Structure 1
């Protein structure tokens, strides 16, 4: 089977997953406590006005009719308009407005996890049972054990009072003046940051605390799994054979140990999407980032059904796409993995 046929097969198999995920989302939204009409009218709404708005939104139709309309709109990428958060504003506009902040947060969160967690894990695996190994392993366990929401609140409290707590170091005045919470100052389009060093530094400093919190859990995972993968690779038979053949240590590490140790890290690295989708809701809310996670939280608390349903569909679609990319990466990193599901 060719790579493109394998890719097409994975895309076709993902369609039932999307249908199932969207169906569960519809049931949860419709059967749950969300009541957009009450959110629009307020607690003292008139019953006649309640019925009129319910008819206008189509909530008085049979559930099966609402389900069909919901699925048709999603799979034709007609995400509709917000009912409550920003009435009469299309979900596309809201996503395009809020997404750059989440992308900026996710970009640095992933970089922190990959370029700190993996190197530390590999270093600990290459130097087992040493002081540095113990420090790295203990640090990974500690970072992994701290919940995102708890770490976000603690870090926000410390940095907002850093002059008192950190022996006179003022985080908000350091390098460029910023406050701890609030959305990062991003231009439109976002890549305009790379032409303005001052704005780039300001946006980076603004997002750094949230990125550290969001990337910390994956950083701990990648550190621990990277260490274990390196240790298993070092003790494998083919590494012993390569040593016996006189392969130089540098080539042994870079061409044999690191590449094979990366294989179990592929699902961890691609799994960053799950962390960003779930964790960003909490982190963005605590730090007031005003990204997609914050928008999703506002949609839930205000009972904005089209907004919540559309964002959930986008989240599910991202997870499915990343799983496909993960499978393709396996075939690139490990040639033993075939396209037919066997070795």
Structure 2
């Protein structure tokens, strides 16, 4: 089977997975304990409850609601918000809130990749040394700390940084910003500003809306959100390097006189990345799901916060739309994982499937 044939087959096989996940979402949303009509008009008006249920179609047979829901999702008709912003399309709300979550997830992934993996590889290449013990202990500690606990502790420390660290105040460092606040992403309005006018990215209105201000605001939340993934990647990277460096083909390369640098870069690192692929691709959904807690603590006001508010207020179309998006992200992340396997490990190929 050709590469593209296999890829197309994977896309086809992903359809029943998406259908099953969307069905489970419908069951949880429609049969849950929260009454959306009561969330809209309250429990004190029976006639109003009946009218709202009729207007929203909640008095229709469940099978008919299910068919309409599935057709709407798979035609990307995500519906309108019932409670959060009545009458506003769910798509518009997602587009409005998503940039802050993407900004948070981007830096969280970078922290995990460029801190966790290098530390893990360093520990694996230098086993049983002080650096190995330090990196391993740090990875265990970061992995063990719950996100919500670490977020609260970090907010408390940064808010009172002037008391804990003499002469240093996080809120006034470089650019004055609050610790708990959503990042201002106005600099994205001019994505070429770094080339045409670099000051637009660093200084705009006293720091408000600049790249540096947005980075500073999101940094604490990104550290918290990426901490668990960073510890995971460090531990798995260390184990993968140790297994690879003691493998037979590495010993054969040494016997042939291949330099240590070539062995590390051409054999050890590339093969050690293989077990890290599912960890890295799996972070796509974990970061979005985990951002619900982190965004709540740091008041990021992104997709995670939107999902939390929609669930609390029984905004069923918005909850269903967000869950459908999360399912699509998870499924396509798994397909991307297979593509990465073939790029990293030439022994894995679609032709063998």
Q: Quick check: 1:243 aligned with 2:248?
A: no
CA distance in 2, matches of 1:66, 1:190: 40
Q: Quick check: 1:226 aligned with 2:225?
A: no
Structure 1 contact 162–168 (Cα < 8 Å) conserved: no
* Structure 1, gaps ≥5 residues long: none
User: How big is the alpha-carbon RMSD for the aligned residues of Structure 1 and Structure 2?
Assistant: 1.3
Structure-2 change in CA distance of 1:285 and 1:341 (3 Å):
farther
Tell me what 1:103 maps to. Answer: 102
Tell me what 1:64 maps to. Answer: 63
Q: Quick check: 1:132 aligned with 2:131?
A: yes
Tell me what 2:153 maps to. Answer: 154
- Comparing 202-211 with 265-274, which one deviates more in the overlay? 265-274
Report how far residue 26 of structure 1 moved. 0.4
CA distance in 2, matches of 1:253, 1:183: 42
Tell me what 1:36 maps to. Answer: 36
Structure 2 contact 237–273 (Cα < 8 Å) conserved: yes
Tell me what 2:176 maps to. Answer: 177
Tell me what 2:207 maps to. Answer: none
Report how far residue 94 of structure 1 moved. 0.3
Report how far residue 43 of structure 1 moved. 4.5
CA distance in 1, matches of 2:116, 2:187: 32
Report how far residue 338 of structure 1 moved. 2.6
Tell me what 1:280 maps to. Answer: 291
- What pairs up with 1:167-316 in 2 under 5 angstroms? 167-187=166-186, 189=188, 192=191, 194=194, 195-198=200-203, 199-316=210-327
SS in 2 for 1:196: helix
Report how far residue 42 of structure 1 moved. 2.8
Q: Quick check: 1:331 aligned with 2:336?
A: no
- Comparing 154-163 with 164-173, which one deviates more in the overlay? 164-173
Structure-2 change in CA distance of 1:188 and 1:18 (3 Å):
farther
Structure 1 contact 100–190 (Cα < 8 Å) conserved: no
Structure 2 contact 179–217 (Cα < 8 Å) conserved: yes
Report how far residue 34 of structure 1 moved. 2.2
CA distance in 2, matches of 1:69, 1:52: 20
- Comparing 89-98 with 165-174, which one deviates more in the overlay? 165-174
Tell me what 2:20 maps to. Answer: 20
Structure 1 contact 82–307 (Cα < 8 Å) conserved: yes
Structure 2 contact 101–288 (Cα < 8 Å) conserved: no
CA distance in 1, matches of 2:201, 2:288: 29
Report how far residue 166 of structure 1 moved. 2.6
Tell me what 1:5 maps to. Answer: 5
* TM-score calculated relative to the size of structure 1: 0.97
CA distance in 2, matches of 1:21, 1:329: 24
Report how far residue 274 of structure 1 moved. 2.4
Deviation beyond 3 Å, 4+ runs, structure 1: 188-195
Report how far residue 248 of structure 1 moved. 1.2
SS in 2 for 1:12: helix
Report how far residue 6 of structure 1 moved. 1.0
Map Cα deviations across residues 98-127 of structure 1 (whole Å, 9 max, x no partner).
000001000000000000000000000000
Structure 2 contact 187–201 (Cα < 8 Å) conserved: no
CA distance in 1, matches of 2:212, 2:43: 45
CA distance in 2, matches of 1:162, 1:318: 38
